[in-house]
Amino acid sequence: MSEALRSGRKSTTLTVHHAPATADAAAEKAKLQKHFGRADIFFFLVCTLVGVDGLGTLATQGGAGFTWLVVSVLLFAVPSAMLLAELGAGFTDEGGPYVWVRMAFGHLAGAVNNFFYWVTNPVWMGGTLVATALSGLVVFFNGEADYSTTTTVLLGIPFIWLGVLFAVLSFRVGKWVATIGAIARFLLLGFFSITVVGYGVRHGFHGIRAGGFKPDFSSFVALVPLILFSLVGFELPSAAGEEMQDAKRDVPAGIAKSVIATGLLYGLPVLGILLVLPEDQATGLAGFPQALKQSLTIFGGSVSTGADGAVTVSLSAGAEAIGWVMGLLIVVVAFTSGLTWIMGSDRTLAVSCYDGAGPRWFGAFSERFGTPVRVNILSGVVSTAVFVATLSITGGNAAKFFNVALGLAISTTLISYLGIFPAAWRLRGQRADDGGYRAPWIGVTTVVSMAFIVFCTVELLFPGLGDGWFAEDYRPEEWASDERWSYLLTEAVPLAAFIAIAVGFWWAGARHRRNEVVVLPEARRP
């Protein structure tokens, strides 16, 4: 990245570009509160981008997972970060991701794209992040035994609604929760990386066969969609663009630092999992907690392998106490991952609703907190419904179809970038020479970023296409090779439903679009 992106500063006059707005927008924007500085943006981005729910899965293909992670950071994360830094610095309206698509392609495209952007997050909160938090508690507090349904509910419901509570509170409070979450990531993943080195010194480094880092097309098809899902979100702070103290300068600087931090915080733990666990153990949701627990035996404990190849880890009292701290940090990391996404995406939905791309009732910000309370509550309701459904649908064809639909809903964020990334190129022509950050080679970076997203979108609908559509290595568990068309229908129906809801939102906002007025740019001195 260029020096401009690293520093985020220029000594020229900066022009603030605004999208055309509605009278309703002006009324709601008057409630916003400026609390978001450069350091806050960086910590917010670390929380947004770095999670532990996919770390175990990234290691399922052995060293190839690490190789594709590095390739994806260099060829996707860096170019896409440049595009989003330009958008965040050049167009600083509240609800950034929605506003950019609307300015570039119109209200209808903005409404559809933004619904995809929003819906992932409450579904992810109730469908995956609760399970991630529980996996950390199970591994370190419950002796690897799953909690009962009652205990799961008693832990899961407060997890969701505490997130809603913090989302309702202003960024004055929410940014500190995000800061705590970022620090938790540095502590958890940094400590794990150190203990892995100690474990390797004591027991030898194993788990990666000779040539295991060599990538191939099958591992590319299997892993890159997951990796990209872990590397998107650089635009999320711009959802609160008008709550930032100086978006034009602070957004590029925050994004540049977060690219480096994200690469390290993902790369080192994934490499550690590969070194600690044999490939057949580094799988599934609890892969990271199990690898962490095994590495903690350097403080006291033992590792034994049963006749069936299963590994049992026993910790001494001192190591177990450290494990309790690590388990709680996993909960904090999972919680703050969901919180930052809810805080950001809820703002984009509320902005679209007061902007004429959704029902006006949802486009209300609190006078007291400056937050979209109604959308926050809607996210909590959706998360709770997904959580209850996940617990209730446990077997048979119902579970098979539900899990596929859930996976699609969680991955719709990727689809939303089909609108966000090209907006940077389209809006470049509408932007004056304002002295702010501009992405180099914007045509190339847009094409490269879009190529990754298009590939992942195709693989969501046709898993394994290019190497063996719906072959055993790619299709979900419990699905047979002759069920590919049923699977495709299971994916297509939710997509069609999301589009229909989004078009309904757009139709509901028609009356408010008639009140659109032009807001002139204003100049701001550095």
> Would you state the structure tokens that stand for residue 130, as one six-digit string?
């609760």
Residue 381 tokens read as: 């309701």
What is the CATH number assigned to the segment(s) 3-511?
1.20.1740.10
User: In Å, how far from its chain's centre is CA 16?
Assistant: 28
Give CA torsion, residues 514, 509, 343, 135, to 10 deg: -160
For residue 312, the SS3 value is strand
What pTM was estimated for this model as a whole?
0.89
> Can you give the pLDDT of all 526 residues of the chain as single tens digits?
444 444 443 433 444 455 656 677 778 888 888 888 889 999 999 999 998 877 766 766 678 888 999 999 999 999 999 999 999 999 999 999 999 999 999 999 999 999 999 999 999 999 889 988 998 898 898 877 788 889 999 999 999 999 999 999 877 888 889 999 999 999 999 999 899 888 888 877 766 665 678 888 888 888 888 899 999 999 999 999 899 988 889 999 999 999 999 999 999 888 877 777 655 555 443 467 888 888 899 999 887 766 665 667 889 999 999 999 999 999 999 999 999 999 999 999 999 999 989 999 999 999 989 899 999 999 999 999 999 998 888 776 777 887 888 888 888 999 999 999 999 999 988 776 666 789 999 999 999 999 999 999 999 899 999 888 999 888 888 888 899 999 999 999 999 999 999 999 999 988 777 665 554 444 333 3
Question: Are the beta carbons of 57 and 287 closer than 8 angstroms?
Answer: yes
Instruction: Report d(CA 55, CA 337) in Å as an integer.
Output: 14
* Residue 479 amino acid letter: W
What is the CB neighbour count within 10 angstroms for residue 450? Answer: 18
SS3 for 305? Answer: strand
Instruction: Enter the tokens of residue 15.
Output: 């022009």
315: β partners: 301
Distance between CA atoms of residues 435 and 9, nearest Å: 9
Residue with tokens 């757009």: 506
The secondary structure of 405-459 as a DSSP string is HHHHHHHHHHHHHHHHHHHHHHHHTT----SS---TTHHHHHHHHHHHHHHHHHH
8 A C-beta contact, residue 417 and residue 231: no
For residue 36, give the DSSP letter: B
Residue ranges covered by each domain of the chain: 3-511
Written as one string, the DSSP assignment of 177-199 is: HHHHHHHHHHHHHHHHHHHHHHH
Nearest residue to 409 via CA among 173, 195, 128, 26: 128
